[in-house]
Structure 1
Amino acid sequence: RKRSDDGNWNIVIVGSGPTGVELAGAFAEMKKDILPRDYPHMNFDNLNIILVSSTTTPLSVMSEESQQMSEKYLKELGVQFMSDEFVTDYDGDKVYMKSGKTIASNNVIWAAGVIGNIIEGLNPDVMIRNRYKTDRFNRVLGYQNIYAIGDIAYMETPKYPQAHPQVANVAINQGKNLGRNFLRKSENDWKEYEYTDRGSMATIGKHRAVVDLPGFKFQGFLAWYFWMFLHLMLILSVRNKIAIFFNWMWSYLNKDSSLRLIIIPNKKNNTEQ
């Protein structure tokens, strides 16, 4: 990778949801425990992990306790958190923000969500922030045979007046509900969709995680072990569970990981210290 003009190495992550926070934590731990061993001839003191957020705190969709603890964990790991900043452009060398600030970087990871493609011919009035307004059956408003599910659907309900969060569980269950409705004999028997939030979690690093369950929230090493256990249980087959468990144990004990950055010295930019 190249060095930025100010002499620092910048890895910029845009978006402070679970994906952005987890990536920032992973890169910070790589900087501390892995890269110095893989590249002992290099100095990583100037390698900056920068998390750019459009909100005041990370994990804005989670509880206030989780937001505060996640920001604390990121700072402990050395991640630079930039709040209330909107990225407007990136030209391959610099990240441009609405405030006028720029960050020199050749490494930018977009974790701020996605927007849907606009389909020509549909009424633009059914669009809101590149999502299609739907009824409670995921039918696009104004049409009888066009449906939208998941991130592309904007469904307002009493519980979610500003539409459902753009997470996998919403898309999966909207698809299941729509499929079951298609199998029913009459549209009079169709069931409306409603999202049941079973909780959310994020891991920021070793012994650093936050978990929000309905009526119960916790953070720290217990949340980290809970995150590990739940993800292990979701893996298919006992053989895979055992193999991954031992891989995790090995990584835990020797502070190693299968994650790697390939760094090639660039004479022009003088990456070697």
Structure 2
Amino acid sequence: MSHGFTGTLNAQQREAATTINGPLLILAGAGTGKTRVLTARISFMVNEGINPKNILSVTFTNKAANEMRERIKGMVRDGLGKKVVVGTFHAFCVRLLREFAEHVGYKNNFAIYSQGEQETLIKRVLQTLLVKDETLDPSMALSRISKAKNAGEGLGDPKESLDAAVMEKYMDEMRGLNVMDFDDLIILGVRLLEEHADVRATVQSRHHYVMVDEFQDTNSLQMRLLRALVPAPYNVCVVGDDDQSIYGWRGAEITNITEFENFFPNPHVVKLEENYRSTTPILHTANSLIKNNIGR
């Protein structure tokens, strides 16, 4: 453990950065240096002889992914940081689907619709399905479809439910146009890995070590993606704040943290508790509120 960069970390940060094998859960609040720990961990892994191409680091936003990518380039020796696979869940799934699109009924040159393009399509679908005096708000229809798709559910019988008929027609139109929306990227990425053992084996052979930032914001689909990506002995590291989740509106499940060991048995748990960003009065006020959380 003589690598210079670990000497600048506190004891808990160093423990997190140098625990490589098996499932690792890092509980880290804002200001505790989690991004620094993740980049130090990747640098440590490369110094230990792990091929950077076999390391996958996933986060939620392009901004966070770009920041992580730049930090890794600056910290990992000999320019090897460029070979680490860094990106968002959606970007990872796009690459996966470009390569294996035919397994889920698409061509690999599929387009990805923007919100505006989705609304144009759903309006066209509604025009074909609505009868006189029937109305259905396009944005509301898209919202219901998105929620159902992410929950892995339908909206009922298309012969009996207008919502279900709209969803069926919308999805048929998308497939016919060789188009996906933002939700489809994760949904079809999960289906690809869960239903096609040969693809799953190929992808697992590339990514021996998987890391996920902002784990408290993962939803059930992203958890399924992670489980399909990581076979035993579960070389997976997740970082999250069990008192903070900002994506509850789109299905984020804090239970992915609180029940992590049910998905990946016997995890090593490290808590980063030293805050380098906020003053003592702010921390005291925040903690006095957080302690009232029910079920985290």
TM-score w.r.t. the length of structure 1 is: 0.28
Relative contact order, higher structure (CA 8 A, sep 6+): 2
TM-score w.r.t. the length of structure 2 is: 0.26
Name the structure where strand makes up a greater proportion of residues.
1
